[in-house]
Every structure is written in C-alpha cells, then in structure tokens.
Chain A
Amino acid sequence: MSLAFEWLLAIRFLKEGRMQSWLILAGVTGGVAIIIFLTQLINQLQGTIIDRVLSSQAHIVMRPAEEVVLRLNQSETLTAALIQQRGQRLRSIDQWESFAQLARTTPGIKAVSPLATGPVFARNNLASKSVVLMGIVPEDYLKVVDMNRYLVKGRFDVSSEQTVIGTELAKDLGVGLGDRIQIVNEVGVVQNLTIVGLFDINNKDLNKRWVFTQLRLAQSLLNIPGGVSSIDLTVHDLFGAKLLAQRLSKQTGLLVESWMETNSGLLNALSNQTVTNSLIRVFVVIIVALGIASVLVVSVVQKQKEIGILRAMGATQQQVLRIFLMQGALFGSLGSLMGVSLAFGLLTLFATVYKSPDGSMMFTAQLDPNLVVMASIVAMLVGILAALLPARRAARMDPVQAIRS
C-alpha cells in the first residue's frame, strides 16, 4: 500500500499552517528535551552520589550475631518478664576463614576483606584521641575501598610499624607524615606507629577516627588473637546487595547488612527523586499530547472544506484518518529528534557551568542510547495517540457538510 497521497497531504497541511506547526513542534521538542535532560541529569547525579557514598564503605558487612539473653526454661510460664538487653562486646567471627571463603565463592561478590576493628586511643605527647583501629590486610582492603584515591600525602603502606591516618586526626594530634604516634588499647598496652600516609575520605568524622594498621597487630591490640570483627564485601550489582546479604545471612547465621540497609535514608531520598522524575515525565507527556491534539483539532476545523473536496474526489475515510495520524507521528518524531539535540546541548551547558567544589565535573554530557530510543518511541506513540481523536473527526466528516461549511 502506497502512502504517497497521505504523506503529501500531511506535510503540505503542516507547511500551510506554519506558525501552528512550529509552535507545537517547539512544544514537543521542549517536552522530549526536558524528559531526556532531567532523566540523564538525575541518573548521573544519583550515580555520582552512590559512587561517592559507596566508594568509602563496603557494600556488605558480615558481623558476628548479636549476643542475646536466653531463657533457661522455655516451658515455664511467666506472666511478666523484664529482660535487660545484653551489652555487645567486641567479638571475633567464629570460623571467619570459612565464611570469608564462602563469600569469595558466592557469585556476585567482587572482593572480600577481613577486618579487626575496635576502639583504642591515639596519643601524641599530651594529645589523646579516641579512635577506631582498622586492622586490615592491605591488598584485600584496597579491593573493597580504594584508599589510594583518598590519599592526600604519602602512601597507603600499612604494616605492624606503619600507619595511615585521616587529615583531621593528624591536625588534632599535631602530627604529620613521618611522625610517630602511640596507640593505646583498653588495658594500657602501647604500640608506636610511624605515619606513612594521610587520607581525606570526604567525611570529617572518619578523617578523625580511622587509624589503619596491619590485621595481626590490630588482633593483638584488640585482644581477639587470630580473629576478625567483620568481613567487608563489595558486589558487582549495587542494587542486588540486599538480596545477597540476606542469602549470606541465611547461609552463615551471621549478622549480614548491605549498604541499602545502613544507608536507608539515602536510598529513600534516591527513590523519592526517581518518583518525582517519573511524575514530571508523565505530566510533560500529558501536556505534549494535549498540545498536539489541540493543534490538530484546530487544523481539522480549518481544513474541513479541503477534507470535503478530497472526499468528493474519492479519498476514503481511512486515507483522511491516516493524514492526521501521520501529522501526529511527524510531530512526535521530528520533535524527538530536535528534543534529543536540545537535551544534549543543555547537558553540555550544564556540565560546563556546574562543577563539583573541587573543580571536577559533576557529570558528563553523554546521552544514554536506550533513553533516547525510548523517548523517541514514546514521543511518536504519543503523537499518534493524540492525533487519533482529531483524525477520526476528520475521517467521519460528511463531505457535503464539509464543502458547504
């Protein structure tokens, strides 16, 4: 079936009503650009936020199950019971090597790092600060948190005599690279460590509290010889972390938490942002559809005499219907083409103008091909659907009445 007649009429009618056509085309272009620009912006910003938050923490942390008070006699009937919660002491994960091995062989897990962490004091002369000793196996830990990207000075070279601390702690203790600090545990054992690196992890509290050392030294200072207090994991699929954590918890009986639980506030904010974006998209689509429909309704009224003549000359109802549907599709497809270009322009402008406080780019001006294809298909469908009503009205027009009008 040749659609030459329909295309010819659709395009000529649009050219004839030039002002109307340009205005609605501008509307569709703006709509498509807003949808692509906003989605791309929000996706990239969300990606940046997630990256910034998660690059300094493990995606999943495995800890020993909490200690609870058990009732001695389960069958005994008690009318009232007041059970004081038990305080949680620092404990090692029982048989942690086998759990670490299980995690390593679990599909979806990218890296595994055992940690011995606990409270100690860091001292330099009279200054004394309560800190968290982070006993790590450096090559494993760097796979979970790439500390090298946060190093401000020195190198991340942790051993039984060397440490890496945060910039804030260094300031508080009045120390710098090459200086020695004392680590004092809860029973007063003192260990001297030389500072070989300073980090700034974009979190003031962590910059004040984290003191990295070798796993073995931490085990002895924290009095958990051979043990670890947690196992940190990273995963390939960030948003699959919760499910993986649940699975590992079932398999090991340990307390396993993913970033999605520990950062539930952030996750809520992100999902609220996504919902808001979806709502904006829906409203923009509705407004664009109404715009196309209203222009075509006016066009049908303006063209009724021509439609009557065409019908008198033998144009069928389907041909007339197709003329206006094609106009809707043309608005949709041309608008999406122009909208994609406009969105790219806006993204480039935004990427150039708005930068992070450190001068780095907040996001890059790149278009997700899937998003572009989806937006174009939606714009075309919306165009056709919006044209349906005016097109039906045109097709059903009585030629005699139309010619007389």
Chain B
Amino acid sequence: MNPILQLKQIRKSYNIGTSIETEILHGIDIELSAGSFSALTGPSGSGKSTLLNIIGLLEPPTSGELVISGKSTQNISDDQLTKLRGLNIGFVFQFHHLLPAFNALENVMMPSIIHQQLEKNKAERRAQQLLNAVGLASATQKKPNELSGGMQQRVAIARALMLNPPLVLADEPTGNLDTHSADDIFKLLERINQTEGISFLIVTHDMKLAQRCSSRFHLVDGCLSQSFET
C-alpha cells in the first residue's frame, strides 16, 4: 500500500548556533501506510509533541525530509505548507480547542470555511453527517461550553474529518477524559479508521490503548526505540 507519510532522518534542534543548542530528535524514520491506525508512545520529554508538530507541518525539522501524500515538504512556501496541512491533515488535540464563539456545527464546518472547499449547504450537510456519526446529532446548535468534555472531543474529531483528510493526528485525544469516555472516543477513532479508511497517528501515554493500534512507535530521548506492527 502507498505510504501516506514518510519521515526520513528527521532531526530537530533548538537554540541552534548557541552554547545551549539541544537536539530533541535524532534522525527519525517513520513510514505510515494509508489506512493505518498507529500510536506514538514515550515518556514525557521524549520529543513526542515536537515530532507530532513536525508531522503536522506546524514546525519545520532542522534537517531530514517529510513526505505527505507523495509531496515533499522541503523548499515550499509557508502558504503552500499551510494549504497542504489544511487539506491533508486533521488535528485532534488533548484540550479539543474548539472555537467558543461558534456552535458545534459551525466548528465542524470551519476547515471548509477556511479553505472554501464546499458550498455552504453542502458543508452544512457534511458537518451534520459527521456530527451524527460521532453521536452528536442533537447537539449541533450547542456552543462548546454547553457540551461535556467527551462531547467536545467528539466535535473536535468531526472537525478533523470535515475535509476528509488522508491523515489525522491526535495528541492525547483521551488524556483529558474519564476512563469510560476515553474508551468511547478510542472506539470512535477505530470505527472511523475502519469505515472511512483514514489513517490515524495517536500520541498517547495509555499503553492499553496503544496496544489496540495496528502499529506503534515508541520514542525515548528523541530516538525511536521500538516500532511494532500487529
């Protein structure tokens, strides 16, 4: 199967050229195939978030190459990078980060509004379908502060799927939820992966959840110590 994401010798350093230059990532190689369901694990400070930001094109690597959907991200402008990110990667954050001024339906529609991908009616229909799919059919008009933590995370998942991206990055998507809600959310992600064929890369501390993924990458001190395929 074609890889959806390729990381080739990714390195990341901070304070370059100073006496306190620190290398956080030491040459990471990862390949994710389309439709995969992967976990990225590791202790705090191992570089997980930095690696996720690099994969999400939110910050550039110091060296190495990143290829998303067959497109290399080397030597492309900030605007092109932003567009590539918006159309190819969906984000789910630990603290959901919904826009408080907008209701659930509008939050889900937001990627389409930014990229003007769909007409308003079509975008509304798609957002409604996604909210139905995540079990929030009746909460479309509610503002984020009227929803529980688990419901907010479901809205965030629906938003990440709005433009049907080939890859969704989830940073501790269950980290802020109780065990029951966490399990529900994880099941939802699994179901979407299976029904929609969207690839997931999930950063998690929870080894039980990680073991439910088809592949796992374990990061220690900026190096991939283990990777498993099940």
Contact = CB atoms under 8 A, between A and B. Distances in A.
A312 B56 contact: yes
B93 to A, nearest CB: 7
Given A314-B86, A314-B111, A399-B58, 15 more contacts: A5-B116, A16-B100, A306-B99, A306-B100, A312-B91, A313-B111, A313-B114, A314-B85, A314-B115, A315-B114, A316-B82, A316-B83, A317-B82, A400-B53, A403-B97
11 contacts: A4-B116, A5-B113, A8-B113, A12-B99, A311-B82, A313-B111, A314-B86, A315-B82, A317-B78, A318-B79, A403-B93
A330 to B, nearest CB: 15
Interface in A293-329: 305-306, 308-319
B113 A309 contact: no
Contact of A2 (B102, B110, B111, B116): B116
Interface in A8-47: 8, 12-13, 15-16
B87 interface: yes
A403 B156 CA distance: 14
Interface in B74-121: 78-79, 82-83, 85-87, 91, 93, 97, 99-102, 110-111, 113-116
A15 B101 CA distance: 8
Given A5-B113, A316-B82, A400 B59 contact: yes
Contacts of A305: 97
A305 B98 CA distance: 10
Contacts of A15: 101
B91 A313 contact: yes
B85 A16 contact: no
Nearest to A8: B113
Contacts of A13: 101
Contacts of A313: 86, 91, 110-111, 114, 159
Interface residues of A, number: 26
A397 to B, nearest CB: 12
Nearest to B97: A309
Interface string A83-111: 00000000000000000000000000000
Chain B contact residues: helix, strand, loop or mixed? helix
Interface residues of B, number: 25
B99 A309 contact: yes
Nearest to B86: A314
A310 B58 contact: no
Contacts of A312: 56, 58, 85, 91
A55 B143 CA distance: 68
A341 B99 CA distance: 35
Given A15-B101, A400-B58, A400-B59, A319 B114 contact: yes
Interface in B12-28: none
Nearest to B107: A309
A16 B143 CA distance: 12
Contacts of A316: 78-79, 82-83
A366 B45 CA distance: 70
Nearest to A313: B111
B58 A12 contact: no
A325 B83 CA distance: 22
Contacts of A399: 58
Nearest to B50: A400
Contacts of B114: 5, 310, 313-315, 319
Nearest to A12: B101
